[in-house]
Amino acid sequence: MSKYDVYGIGNALVDMEYSLTPEDLQRLGIDKGVMTLVDVDHQSEMMVYLDEHHVHRSAGGSAANTVIALAQFGGRGFYTCKVADDDLGRLYADDLKDNGVETNAHEVVEPGYTGRCMVLVTPDADRTMCTYLGITGSLGKTELVPEAIRESEYLYLEGYLATSETAREAVAEARRIADDAGVRTAISLSDPNIVSHFGVQLREMIGAGVDLLFANEDEAKELTGTETVEDAITALKSSAREFVVTRGPKGAVVFDGDREFSVDGRQVDAIDTVGAGDMFAGAFLYGRTQGWSHERAARFAVSASADIITTYGPRLTRDRALGVRDAMAGAA
């Protein structure tokens, strides 16, 4: 039995969530519904503008949200990241620990600024992200914990790592370690903008193929250069031995290596779609590492991601997460 269900690698970003209007986004000059990288001065100006808006802070980043979700369901996760020796870095490392995730973030840290992501939520429940990477932009091989990779069932990578040369080097080394140890590799494409602007680098990360790939419809079409979801699904079979294409309220399409099937969505009143894809991946990986079938894991992931969009923020409380898990166990 592996010590960890999932070893994740990703950017350490303190999420700062604001509620605002589309008009605010226009005044800030920010494209709605995608992730945009900004420098520290631009982000500081935005924070001044949004000073009166609601803000909530927590450890974030795509892969972190996924590993935290897995841990809240009862799984065993390890998260490799890079934080600075500042207040946000300490908040980040403590938040991972408080959520049951082991990490390298309590080890030697460097001076600088911990990365932060402004999550801008509009009344239609859409989320727009403006990210200043800070010290996580230099995440590299030094931050890897090889023994923890070898002791994991899955190595999990976020697509955002494609934006950094040192992070891609870390990914290549982590995959080598994982492959040598028989650890399966999973990747999330993360964001349509990442696939669009860093497609070459992302395909290098995927290489000859991964064991499990997560994408939404737009990301799948962008990666494969296809016009329809159906064509994208066919094309993805050359990039991943298994994959899931999430379709929002329409559920998901799963390819388990042999057959392709659909799982229906759950209709809910969405408040905030932040973290829905990350939650899906965390729930699906939890199910698979517990020995559940692909279909049962996908139904659980659909339910969990539907639940997360009925509340603010990228994660559930631990009690609520356990309730979602237990409801699936009762329905099995």
Boundaries of every domain in the chain:
4-13+61-113+134-331
Residue 331 is predicted with a pLDDT of 65
pLDDT at 317 over 90: no
Q: Which carries the bigger pLDDT value, residue 228 or residue 34?
A: 228
**Phi, psi (degrees; rounded to nearest 5) at 139:** -50, 130
- Residues ≥6 apart with Cβ < 8 Å to 109: 83, 84, 85, 89
Q: What is the pLDDT of residues 253-291, one digit of tens each?
A: 999 999 999 999 988 888 877 789 999 999 999 999 999
Distance, CA of 87 to CA of 166 (rounded, Å): 24
Amino acid identity for residue 31 in this structure: D
May I ask the CATH class of domain 4-13+61-113+134-331? alpha beta
Q: Each residue of 234-269: b (16+ CB within 10 Å) or e?
A: eebeebbebbbbbbbeebbbbbbeeeeeebebbeee
Q: Report residue 332's pLDDT band, with 50, 70 and 90 as the boundaries.
A: low
254: closest CA among 202, 302, 286? 302
**Phi, psi (degrees; rounded to nearest 5) at 298:** -70, -40
The residue-averaged pLDDT of 120-148 equals 92
The residue-averaged pLDDT of 152-162 equals 97
pLDDT at 248 over 70: yes
The pTM score is 0.90
- Residues ≥6 apart with Cβ < 8 Å to 39: 132
Question: Are the CB atoms for 20 and 50 separated by under 8 Å?
Answer: yes
Question: Are the CB atoms for 59 and 106 separated by under 8 Å?
Answer: no
Lowest mean pLDDT segment, chosen from 46-60, 126-140, 170-184, 202-216: 46-60
The residue-averaged pLDDT of 71-81 equals 97
Residue 273 is predicted with a pLDDT of 77
Lowest mean pLDDT segment, chosen from 123-127, 178-182, 281-285: 123-127
Number of Cβ within a 10 Å radius of residue 103: 25
Q: What is the pLDDT of residues 210-229, one digit of tens each?
A: 999 999 999 999 999 999 99
Q: What's the full length of the chain, in residues?
A: 332
